[in-house]
Structure 1
């Protein structure tokens, strides 16, 4: 087999993908283990986020899911407030701008992964 430029480019893209995946997993663990107390303190009155608290007892992956759940609440805060699922004075705005941005980034990335897996399975079923 001859290694062409296409193989090298694809190999680099695959390597970057895996490097980014492990970097983001590490970042999620960082948020889950070091910032979770401040995150939960800021949103302690929100019933929707309190319903996610069972994730805290599921180990490291549960902490990652908790961060992602809070991120989703921050990402869709206007919609959730409008429909009564998120408390308007619940304190999610008390998080610092950097924390809100970081957690919302986690939510956007998680939505991309979930959306891709959903549409990937949808495409495979309809092919």
Structure 2
């Protein structure tokens, strides 16, 4: 069976998308294992983090969950500040380089998921 040009392009985009998702996952794990203590130290007054801090001892999934909450805190601080889940002082004192990495990781994952959704829609419409 031979692949047409559209199928080859679709396959290439799909492989690049999956590779990007795995790279983002690996980068997130690296952050979760190397910078978690620093992040928790800077967010010591945030109730949303304190109630989930025990999860870092449950393995990689727990660390990724805490990292996801910290990322959500960095990307959408107004939601956490409004409901009392975050401390404005902690957010202002959080290291800018880690905040930038977390924000880039969030938007990269979002973009890759949008590409995957687009690929799904291409299949459902029947373009490939």
TM-score class, shorter-chain normalisation, is 0.7 to 0.9
**Alignment correspondent of 1:104:** 103
Give distance in 2, aligned partners of 1:59 and 1:78: 30
The TM-score normalised by the length of structure 1 is 0.78
Give distance in 2, aligned partners of 1:81 and 1:53: 19
Cα gap change, 1:34 to 1:45, in 2 (>3 Å)? same
Equivalence map 1:67-86=2 (5 Å) = 67-86=67-86
The TM-score normalised by the length of structure 2 is 0.77
Number of residue-to-residue matches in the alignment: 115
Q: Extract unaligned runs of 5+ from structure 2.
A: 121-128
Quote how far apart the aligned CAs of 1:109 are: 5.3
Cα-to-partner distance string for 1:63-114 (whole Å, 9 max, x where unaligned): 111111111111111222123221222x12222222111123344456675x
Query: Could you say which structure has the greater relative contact order, defined with CA pairs below 8 angstroms and 6 or more residues apart?
Result: 2
